[in-house]
Amino acid sequence: QKEVEQNSGPLSVPEGAIASLNCTYSDRGSQSFFWYRQYSGKSPELIMFIYSNGDKEDGRFTAQLNKASQYVSLLIRDSQPSDSATYLCAAYTGTASKLTFGTGTRLQVTL
């Protein structure tokens, strides 16, 4: 079982819709969770992180964490074509002092 799992997609949503990206993790010791966006040919850029159960909002982005279910999600409201990219979920475990990445979900926002 992979430590951090994501559906590879592509996830296709129309412009203006809400895109929902999901991630599950296996290590209950994971303390915080990060969402990165990676455009083709570019390096990952940090969108947001979350470490407490519940929701965290930043502009059009909302991260959701449910530690009991070992589930993290990223919602993108009012999706734009510029949001088309691969979204990487990562879990941080303090004991290992490193991020473990999922394989990423490719999002396509269509006109």
Partner 1 sequence: SAVISQKPSRDICQRGTSLTIQCQVDSQVTMMFWYRQQPGQSLTLIATANQGSEATYESGFVIDKFPISRPNLTFSTLTVSNMSPEDSSIYLCSAQGNEQFFGPGTRLTVL
SS3 content of the chain, % helix, strand, coil (to 5): 5, 55, 40
88, 91, 107, 109: which one contacts partner 1 (CB under 8 A)? 88
Rounded to whole angstroms, the Cα distance separating 38 from 46 reads 9
Question: Segment near partner 1 (CB under 8 A), from 11-19, 39-47, 61-69, 70-78?
Answer: 39-47
Q: Kindly identify the residues of this chain, within the stretch 13-32, that bind partner 1 according to CB under 8 A.
A: none
Please calculate the CA angle 17-22-26 and round it to the nearest 5 degrees.
Answer: 175
Q: What is the nearest approach in angstroms of partner 1 to the Cβ of residue 39?
A: 12
- Site residues for partner 1 per CB under 8 A: 34, 36, 42-46, 49, 88, 90, 97-99, 101-104
